Chain A
Amino acid sequence: MRQGLDLELVGLTKRYGDTVAVDAIHHHFGPGVYACLLGPSGCGKSSTLRMIAGHETVSDGSIVLGGSDISYLPPAKRGTAMMFQSYALFPHLTVADNVAFSLKMKGVDAATRRKKAMEMLALVDMTQYEGRLPSQLSGGQQQRVALARALITEPQILLLDEPLSALDPFLRIRMRAELKRLQRELGITFVHVTHGQDEALALADEIVVMNNAVIEQAGSARDVFNAPKTEFVARFMGGHNVLALPQGRFAIRNDLTRLAPQQGAKLDGRVTSVEFQGAHVAVTILTAGDQDVTAWVPEAQFFSDPKSPGDGVGLSWDEQALHPLRA
């Protein structure tokens, strides 16, 4: 197990002509964390990752790994390794040759190369496929090979560009558990780009939410989910209502929004839809001020006092469940 290094982004900027893809972002990734860069497409998360990897030139600012500036080093000299979205396995090489590629480039002899490649394949449980070509593997298997190929360079930081997006939902859940296990075992930093908040919540020690080329909020998965600081984060993470109240705008979790009698309620309105979702029932209410609010009512509680569309209801919550949002 290796000890990871600190990765720091200092005023990192990427411009393509007149458009700014990444706008002077600052962030510090602690050693050995699983970090997710989360955001909608076009928010700059992939550009950020590609700059860290060295596949995109830095327009301004710098990338500091373990105290040294790596912004202008070639990819292979940075101590990072990248796993590509489509895996980018070499179609003409076998699994073992793909994994050993970087060693071959370094001029390592064939026997050592093979031994090391087999170790890496064992790590991702793919030893029995060493002689196959990538086209003879399933998506999940290709991904494991891509992982082994990235890890054989013994990187300090593994960069993953939407690694799970090409997999079917069932495999995605299995592979994400595997990624988490590998990260724990290796103790290095993983920086994982994704647009799926469920993926980020499930995997990340630290979530960095990006939008419009800047970081909206960063913090532990629990903090980001429970206390979104901006309306964008609240809406993007899902499971939140954004309320405009006389005191300002607030985010409140759907499951902490309660239905109440109309008298003395904090807000009142009419039910517009009721959706049964298994463990809870999602009740959507159109309030007096024309706001859509969703309350997740535990299933048993709902059916003890069922509502139907058109019914008038009140809404209440605990004051500490409200999180003020930055304008």
Chain B
Amino acid sequence: MRAGETNRHLSGWLLASPLTLVLILFLVLPIAMIVVVSFWQATEFSIIPAFSWENYDFLFGSPVTYRVFGNTIKYALIVWAFTLGIGFTVAYFLAFHVRTQTWQIALFLLCTIPFWTSNIIRMISWIPFLGRNGLANSALISAGITDEPLDWLLYSDFSVILAFVHLYTLFMVVPIFNTMMRIDKSLIEAAYDGGASGFQTLTNVIIPLCKPGIMIGTIFVVTLVMGDFVTVRFMSGSQSANVGRLIQNDIALLQYPSASATAVVLLITVLMVIGILLRFVDIRKEL
């Protein structure tokens, strides 16, 4: 009896250990390393292991930090609003208006086709389109809508957000579509039977039941946008900054301790955002 129990404990630990090991090696250790380095000191030509709050003092003391974090959160919020609006509409169309499963699968795959190419390629292909002499401007001019090329189409917040929305809408579509497909169609009929209009059914039945999907999509989009630096660099032509760019700059200057400190603050910010989101919706039943 006793031996059996010990065996069970032992096999439990053994079964859990590979994953634990992977997580420790590739998740916990790197993060711990970043946290440790964030307390080190650095000069232009050397890095000194130490325990100092210098990096954090500098970070929180600089108005640039607040501006850049504000900018990052602004991007996240705007991109979230657009991806949610577009993603929900696309998912709704796929789940409730497309009748046959064959078409549902076909259209769903169609949504994923752009993902067969690389992020960067999809992003950069906007540049000739939006540029001063690009397709968009020449079309607008020849249509007589504007006389001069619009400058804000490229290398602006507009182009950054456009690229983000383009890149990440699918991350909203997939989880929302998934929750929508689980909604029993008879619930919609029951709402209709109870006298609900189409809009009332949407707000009283469909949206509440899609909340977990919306939340999962939100977490994807917010974390992706907040951690990004490539999109902001290319689409703003290095004219706007977000936290990712701040870190990238530090790394380029070999200021690893300062980059680490910024990364730690970003990590905490993102975790706080997710923590707040999870307060609203219980996503566990979706997983």
Residues of A within 8 A of B (CB): 53-55, 74-76, 81-82, 84-86, 88-92, 101-102, 104-106, 149-150, 153
Contact B186 A153 (CB under 8 A): no
Contact A82 B193 (CB under 8 A): yes
Q: Which of B145-153, B202-210, B214-222 contacts A (4 or more CB under 8 A)?
A: B202-210
Contact B194 A76 (CB under 8 A): yes
B207: min CB distance to chain A, Å: 10
Known: A85-B186, A88-B184, A102-B195. 18 other contacts (CB 8 A): A54-B193, A74-B192, A75-B192, A75-B195, A76-B193, A76-B194, A76-B196, A82-B193, A88-B186, A90-B187, A90-B191, A90-B205, A91-B187, A101-B191, A102-B196, A105-B195, A105-B196, A149-B194
Residue count of chain B within 8 Å CB distance of chain A: 17
Residues of B within 8 A of A (CB): 184, 186-187, 189-197, 200, 204-205, 208-209
Q: Report the separation of the CA atoms of residues A90 and B189 in the bound assembly, to the nearest whole angstrom.
A: 11
Q: Report the separation of the CA atoms of residues A209 and B132 in the bound assembly, to the nearest whole angstrom.
A: 75
Contact flag A91-B193 (CB < 8 Å), given A86-B186, A105-B200, A105-B204: no
User: Which residues of B lie under 8 Å from residue A106 when comparing CB positions?
Assistant: 195
B98: min CB distance to chain A, Å: 18
User: Which residues of B lie under 8 Å from residue A92 when comparing CB positions?
Assistant: 208-209
Contacting residue for A55 out of B193, B194, B204, CB 8 A: B193
User: Which residues of B lie under 8 Å from residue A91 when comparing CB positions?
Assistant: 187, 209
Contact A76 B184 (CB under 8 A): no
Contact A84 B195 (CB under 8 A): no
User: Which residues of A lie under 8 Å from residue B204 when comparing CB positions?
Assistant: 101, 104-105
Contact A88 B187 (CB under 8 A): yes
Contact flag A76-B186 (CB < 8 Å), given A90-B205, A105-B204: no
User: Which residues of B lie under 8 Å from residue A104 when comparing CB positions?
Assistant: 204
Which 4 residue pairs spanning A and B have beta carbons closest together?
Answer: A76-B195, A102-B194, A88-B190, A88-B186
Report 15 cross-chain contacts, Cβ distance below 8 Å, ordered by A residue: A54-B193, A74-B192, A76-B194, A76-B195, A82-B189, A88-B186, A90-B191, A92-B209, A101-B191, A102-B193, A102-B195, A104-B204, A105-B195, A105-B196, A153-B194
Contact B200 A53 (CB under 8 A): no
Q: Report the separation of the CA atoms of residues A150 and B194 in the bound assembly, to the nearest whole angstrom.
A: 8
User: Which residues of B lie under 8 Å from residue A153 when comparing CB positions?
Assistant: 194-195
User: Which residues of B lie under 8 Å from residue A105 when comparing CB positions?
Assistant: 191, 194-197, 200, 204
By beta carbon, the residue of chain B nearest A159 is: B193
Contact A101 B194 (CB under 8 A): yes
A143: min CB distance to chain B, Å: 14
User: Which residues of B lie under 8 Å from residue A90 when comparing CB positions?
Assistant: 187, 190-191, 205
By beta carbon, the residue of chain A nearest B209 is: A92
By beta carbon, the residue of chain B nearest A101 is: B194
Contact flag A84-B186 (CB < 8 Å), given A76-B195, A105-B196: yes
Residue of B186, B200, B205 ringed by the most chain A CB atoms within 10 A: B186
Q: Report the separation of the CA atoms of residues A54 and B195 in the bound assembly, to the nearest whole angstrom.
A: 12
User: Which residues of A lie under 8 Å from residue B192 when comparing CB positions?
Assistant: 55, 74-76
Q: Report the separation of the CA atoms of residues A82 and B187 in the bound assembly, to the nearest whole angstrom.
A: 12
Contacting residue for B190 out of A54, A74, A84, CB 8 A: A84
B211: min CB distance to chain A, Å: 8
Q: Report the separation of the CA atoms of residues A222 and B194 in the bound assembly, to the nearest whole angstrom.
A: 35
By beta carbon, the residue of chain A nearest B183 is: A91
B214: min CB distance to chain A, Å: 13
Q: Report the separation of the CA atoms of residues A106 and B195 in the bound assembly, to the nearest whole angstrom.
A: 7
Q: Report the separation of the CA atoms of residues A89 and B183 in the bound assembly, to the nearest whole angstrom.
A: 11
A149: min CB distance to chain B, Å: 7
B281: min CB distance to chain A, Å: 11
Q: Report the separation of the CA atoms of residues A89 and B204 in the bound assembly, to the nearest whole angstrom.
A: 13
Q: Report the separation of the CA atoms of residues A85 and B186 in the bound assembly, to the nearest whole angstrom.
A: 9
Q: Report the separation of the CA atoms of residues A54 and B196 in the bound assembly, to the nearest whole angstrom.
A: 14
User: Which residues of A lie under 8 Å from residue B184 when comparing CB positions?
Assistant: 86, 88
Q: Report the separation of the CA atoms of residues A55 and B193 in the bound assembly, to the nearest whole angstrom.
A: 8
Q: Report the separation of the CA atoms of residues A85 and B185 in the bound assembly, to the nearest whole angstrom.
A: 12
Q: Report the separation of the CA atoms of residues A53 and B190 in the bound assembly, to the nearest whole angstrom.
A: 11
Q: Report the separation of the CA atoms of residues A286 and B212 in the bound assembly, to the nearest whole angstrom.
A: 63
User: Which residues of B lie under 8 Å from residue A54 when comparing CB positions?
Assistant: 193
Contacting residue for B193 out of A81, A85, A89, CB 8 A: A81
